[in-house]
Chains A and B, each alone.
Chain A
Amino acid sequence: MVAVVTGGAVIGGEFFLAGCKNPDTGVQLVFDESDIAFLDEVAETIFPKTATPGAKDAKVGQFMTVMVNDCYNEKDQKAFHQGMKQLDEACNKMHGHSFMKATPEHRKELLISLEKEAKEYQERRKTFNEEQDAKEKAEKERGNKAFEKETMPNHYYLMMKQLTIMGYFTSKEGRTGATRYEPVPGKYIGDLPYKKGDKIFTGLD
């Protein structure tokens, strides 16, 4: 049993563990090239190119579509697809034009507003899902095995942000450009001097 505990909150980690369902339904949940370009710009707003590569360099838009297609459950998939439209509408409302036409400053302003909205939404979602879990437990204890709990999907912006961070730091460009990539360290030093600005070490994993 491997049991080295980090104890840290893992953004995006829940996708690895919770995993996803993707049953065939009538709903069109397909990404096209323009979606990838759109998601690239969202990601680039979250992680812009500076002295280190940006999210677009790391092809995060493409990565998001693969993860949503293959790993997300149907509810989150739908929320993600609808979310792209919602994001564009919110941009129209705030700035009077689409996200693709917005300046980097306008884009950033918009996403910061979504940040707050997503946080509040996730709080409500947590409460709702906990209530449903309790209800499911109570129903099962009463012998109602057929009971199926309801769940709320994640907020689309939270999914986009998590996928941006994960996609970036697990990409070749992100690892080699923004961290100290050490696939074969050869030794372990448990007491290494550190000064602010030194990058994290990453490896093959």
Chain B
Amino acid sequence: MADNTYDAIVVGSGISGGWAAKELTEKGLKTIMLERGHDIKHVKDYEQTNRPVWDYPHRGGRTQQMIEDYPKLKRDYPLNERNLSYWAVDKDCPYTETKRFDWFRGYHVGGRSLMWGRQSYRWCEADFEANGKEGIAIDWPIRYKDMEPWYSYVEKFAGIQGSYEHLPQLPDSQFLPAMDLNIVEKDVAARIKQHYNNKRTLIIGRTAHVTAKLPDSPERDRCQYRNMCWNGCPFGAYFSTQSSTLPAAMKTGKLTVRPFSIVKEIIYDKDTKKAKGVRIIDAETNQVQEFFAKVIFLCASAFNSTWVLMNSATDIWPDGLGSSSGELGHNAMDHHFRLGASGDVEGYEDKYYFGHRPTGFYIPRFRNFGDDKRDYLRGFGYQGAANRNGWNREVAELNIGADLKDALSEPGPWRIGATAFGEMLPYHDNKISLNKTVKDKWGLPVLDMDVEIRDNERKMRKDMTEDMKEMLEIAGVKNAHTYESDYAPGMGIHEMGTARMGRDPKTSVLNANNQVWDCQNVFVTDGACMTSASCVNPSLTYMAMTARAAAYAVEQLKKNNL
């Protein structure tokens, strides 16, 4: 049994789990990282990374067989021929839907840090204050000042490229040199800025890409502008567990990584009121094993971390460890999107661009900020790009033949478009729960999803299309028109909430240091901990939150408080 005893257990190996492993091992803790899926080794296992489109039989698309095999994943872009092995197999890991929920998961070492969009933004003061000021849900137990040093800390290691803008709604990170806006984007940015008197801005999308040598990670190479990130980067140019936190953790000699380890529950000791360890099912052999540690970091992805809690200590709390407040599983959130506006840019026929830039532009939130007031709460930001049409365009005046081939071999007119990403409020009734009548491949109960957007989001969605159209028109863009596609919660792949942080154990699952109120040596630092959602991409906040909680955990261990 001694073999299975560590100082710390980290459940999950994605963005949060990777950070937990790095921080805990660097602070001297002997740590095991338990990952439910298979291993993927940095570079060596990025099988498709140098594969050109013509080497895929369906040129990267999807077949009827894939659609049959992936009834959930097929609902959006993740079902494709390129990185299919990076997405969880729906039929092995089902879930049920009281209301439609698109759950796109990465069950392997690295988790979704391999396929993430890499957009990286700090929250602002207003994000942390909003719940308390507006009387929504509960107040965050922390403020921007609590997070600020941890944002800086993780940014220096992760490598975030971006431009310094001094915006109150989008604090600057510690930036590497920014990627460039193209000529059309720069001109549109200037016109928007002038018209709105600096209250609206168009800036380069901030991403976790290395654009200069990183002192803390010299083995990571600069971005080569291939825009093939989602296959895994052979240059280690974007932040992932594999490129960044895992090598750092391994360097300490204190990390053990165990793939194929599905944590089914936390072992709770009711005498000490602490967790002793975790019980796993080996995904390959189906054997149950136990691992023991002084401290446990749950970083299994928002809903799976909550699933583990729901399955733990049910002899004491029928609804699971951390359920005493009645909030476990509740207040689920995502970012709602799939709408915006686009249009045609006249002129610039003598301009083009070189390189496949792995980001676009970003328009930070401007609604309900400062003196702006709307008939809904919170706001949204836009991600977009301007580019010249490629071969996949219609050429109205040409039918077929050499002329068409030549025309499509040249860049077409410029276009510009942007998609809005909006904040979703935390509603108690938006919940996930255990469905014990349906079992996964390993006989474990599955999650049932009961989440929807409500009036506040629907009102916001009107502005999300119209505001972009207006900005495009002001910038001189022709034929500006709005678009809106179906959105179902989960499509943002930004699941948040279900084990929220708070000031009071009666109304929250976690305290200000991400400890489960009911079991203080269990920390939850992934999306589950979120008390509200902001409208910016959440991953950078998970990194900072995890590093902060890890430092606190080690400090408490040293004081023998855990």
Contacts and interface: CB of A to CB of B under 8 A. Distances in A.
Contact of B224 (A1, A111, A179, A185): A185
Interface string A10-32: 11110111011110000000000
Contacts of B391: 165, 169, 179, 200
A46 B53 contact: no
Interface residues of B, number: 85
Interface stretch (B87-95, B180-188, B453-461, B512-520): B180-188
Contacts of A169: 391-392, 408
Interface stretch (A67-75, A86-94, A142-150): A67-75
B353 A175 contact: no
Interface in B181-198: 181-183, 185-186
A172 interface: yes
B39 to A, nearest CB: 24
Q: Which 10 A-B pairs have the closest CB atoms?
A: A7-B417, A7-B342, A190-B182, A188-B355, A194-B352, A185-B355, A5-B417, A190-B180, A189-B354, A169-B391
Given A48-B402, A190-B180, A190-B353, A205 B359 contact: no
B436 interface: no
Chain A at the B interface: mostly helix, strand, loop or mixed? loop
A166 interface: yes
A22 B65 CA distance: 8
Nearest to B360: A4
Interface string A160-198: 010001111111100100110011111111111111111
Contacts of B384: 4-5
Contacts of B68: 21
B179 A188 contact: yes
B212 interface: no
Contacts of A1: 117, 119, 335, 337, 421, 492-494, 537
A3 B351 contact: no
Given A170-B59, A183-B52, A185-B355, 11 more contacts: A1-B537, A2-B230, A3-B419, A4-B359, A5-B417, A13-B392, A16-B60, A63-B59, A67-B58, A200-B391, A204-B53
B106 to A, nearest CB: 13
Interface centre among B181, B226, B417, by most A CB within 10 Å?
A: B226
Contact of B77 (A2, A5, A8, A108): A2
Interface stretch (B253-261, B262-270, B393-401, B540-548): B393-401
Interface of A: 1-13, 15-17, 19-22, 45-48, 50, 52, 63, 66-67, 70-73, 108, 111-112, 115, 161, 165-172, 175, 178-179, 182-205
Contact of A183 (B226, B383, B415): B226
B350 A185 contact: no
A112 B400 contact: yes
Interface string B164-187: 000000000000000111110110
Given A112-B400, A170-B53, A188-B180, A20 B64 contact: yes
Contacts of A72: 64
B110 to A, nearest CB: 17
A151 to B, nearest CB: 15
B67 interface: yes
Chain B at the A interface: mostly helix, strand, loop or mixed? loop
Contact of B409 (A11, A21, A171, A199): A199
A5 B385 contact: yes
Interface centre among B54, B66, B186, B537, by most A CB within 10 Å?
A: B54
A178 B408 CA distance: 9
B418 interface: yes
Contacts of B79: 19
B559 interface: no
A188 B117 contact: no
A165 B50 CA distance: 23
A19 B74 contact: yes
Nearest to A16: B61
Given A185-B226, A189-B355, A70 B65 contact: yes
A183 B80 CA distance: 20
9 contacts: A5-B385, A8-B412, A46-B400, A48-B401, A70-B58, A108-B400, A165-B391, A170-B59, A172-B54
A52 B57 contact: no
B411 interface: yes
Contact of B353 (A3, A16, A63, A192): A192
B535 to A, nearest CB: 12
A183 B383 CA distance: 25
Contacts of A175: 52-54
A205 B228 contact: yes
Interface centre among A8, A21, A198, by most B CB within 10 Å?
A: A8
A190 B392 contact: no
Nearest to A23: B64
B357 interface: yes
B356 interface: yes
Nearest to A112: B399
Contacts of B185: 190
